[in-house]
């Protein structure tokens, strides 16, 4: 069986495992107050080019999203997000559990436009009864989006400008950020991202770490009591250093980008196999997730050898299927998948 189901099916990059083993019996203080976390924070701040950023480590993405948004919003506020946003659909109401509404906006392949945000805010404040509606208190976007698409630096800057004009923070969910940074032709680097939002996180779980997300507040004043917020959310890891060690490793010698780049390369290869077989992609993402429009019959056939995710129905005879590569995907796996696709193609050709 070949697995392209998700980018969190393996453990961690071997170098991370080595470092965890190496430091295993050391004794350090808990909760992130240890030298490893300290060093990882410094490395991340340097990589982002924001020397006074406040960096916190969380175990997972839903946790990071809920804690950050809860910290940013006042009680009566909601958060603006793409209707396809992870917080809108797949976190079991974690934001609402904290008392806040997720106010959804229209999107294109997962991306929201600055104009859409601006229009919502303008119409909100124009409404005489706007105080009867949750006040938009922050904007949440994902980079890459849930569809693997990418914002350009200009698009980010435009959304950020709208936020700043309304004095609300922009929060970027970077659960798969590594694959965005490593994508072809992107102009969004860590410093560009850091400059264009108030808080974002660097996803580790899906990009080489055992687990962990590094939350970067580029405006440290927004994080004044973030430790307490995290504790209240059950999001403070007792042995915090486990997160510090992992991010220290990922930010040593460009490891984070390097290993994520592999996923881009294998995704490209896989994409080519699909298109050579005549299958269409829902959209071109440039990152490690491929959304392929497949005939129901092909799905059934492929599923015998390849594990992937049925994303959504496309029409009565097709579905959108998601194939995901990761830092751990091997060339062999992609070649084997190509071979299976080719066979499937030929079968098709014969039948047609």
Least separation in angstroms between residue 111's CB and a second copy is 22
| Torsional sign, CA 80, 86, 87, 92 | positive
Give yes or no for residue 142 binding a second copy (CB under 8 A): no
Give yes or no for residue 76 binding a second copy (CB under 8 A): yes
Residue recorded with tokens 């486990």: 242
| Torsional sign, CA 190, 288, 277, 281 | negative
CA separation for the pair 110, 6 (Å, rounded): 18
**Piece in contact with a second copy (CB under 8 A), picked from 69-77, 250-258, 269-277, 314-322:** 69-77
Least separation in angstroms between residue 102's CB and a second copy is 8
Give yes or no for residue 62 binding a second copy (CB under 8 A): yes
DSSP calls for 67-119? HHHHHHS-TTEEEEEETT-HHHHSSTTHHHHTT--EEEE--BTTB--HHHHHH
Q: Which of residues 192-231 bind a second copy (CB under 8 A)?
A: 205-206, 210-211, 225, 227-229, 231
Task: Look up residue 47 and give its two tokens.
Answer: 């990589």
**Piece in contact with a second copy (CB under 8 A), picked from 36-44, 99-107, 160-168, 283-291:** 99-107
Q: What is the spatial order of strands in the sheet that 318-324 belongs to?
A: 280-281, 289-295, 318-324, 309-315
Q: Which of residues 246-305 bind a second copy (CB under 8 A)?
A: none
From 35, 38, 49, 98, residue interacting with a second copy (rule: CB under 8 A): 98
Q: Which of residues 27-56 bind a second copy (CB under 8 A)?
A: 27-30
**Piece in contact with a second copy (CB under 8 A), picked from 97-105, 110-118, 257-265, 298-306:** 97-105
């Amino acid at each position: 069986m070949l697995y392209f189901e998700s980018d969190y099916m393996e453990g961690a990059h071997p170098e991370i495992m080595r470092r965890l083993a190496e430091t295993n019996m050391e004794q350090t203080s808990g909760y992130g107050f240890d030298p490893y976390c300290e060093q990882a924070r410094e490395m991340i701040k340097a990589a982002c080019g924001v020397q006074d950023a406040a960096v916190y480590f969380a175990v997972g993405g839903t946790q990071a999203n809920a804690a950050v948004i809860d910290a940013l919003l006042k009680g009566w506020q909601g958060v603006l997000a793409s209707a396809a946003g992870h917080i809108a659909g797949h976190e079991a109401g974690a934001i609402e559990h904290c008392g806040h509404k997720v106010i959804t906006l229209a999107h294109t392949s997962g991306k929201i436009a600055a104009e859409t945000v601006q229009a919502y805010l303008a119409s909100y404040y124009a409404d005489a009864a706007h105080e009867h509606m949750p006040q938009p208190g922050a904007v949440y976007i994902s980079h890459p989006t849930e569809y693997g698409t990418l914002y350009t630096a200009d698009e980010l800057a435009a959304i950020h400008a709208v936020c700043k004009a309304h004095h609300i923070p922009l929060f970027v969910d970077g659960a798969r950020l590594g694959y965005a940074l490593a994508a072809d032709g992107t102009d969004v680097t860590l410093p560009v991202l850091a400059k264009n939002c108030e808080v974002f996180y660097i996803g580790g779980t899906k990009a080489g770490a055992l687990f962990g997300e590094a939350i970067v507040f580029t405006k440290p004043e927004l994080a004044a009591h973030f430790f307490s917020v995290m504790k209240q959310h059950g999001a403070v890891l007792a042995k915090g250093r486990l997160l510090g060690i992992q991010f220290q490793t990922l930010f040593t010698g460009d490891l984070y980008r390097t290993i994520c780049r592999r996923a881009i390369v294998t995704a490209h290869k896989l994409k080519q196999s699909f298109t050579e077989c005549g299958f269409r992609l829902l959209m071109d993402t440039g990152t490690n997730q491929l959304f392929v429009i497949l005939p129901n019959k092909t799905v059934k056939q492929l599923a015998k050898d390849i594990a992937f995710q049925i994303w959504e129905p496309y029409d009565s005879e097709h579905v959108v299927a998601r194939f995901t590569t990761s830092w751990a995907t091997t060339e062999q796996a992609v070649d084997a998948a190509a071979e299976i696709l080719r066979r499937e193609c030929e079968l098709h050709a014969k039948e047609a």
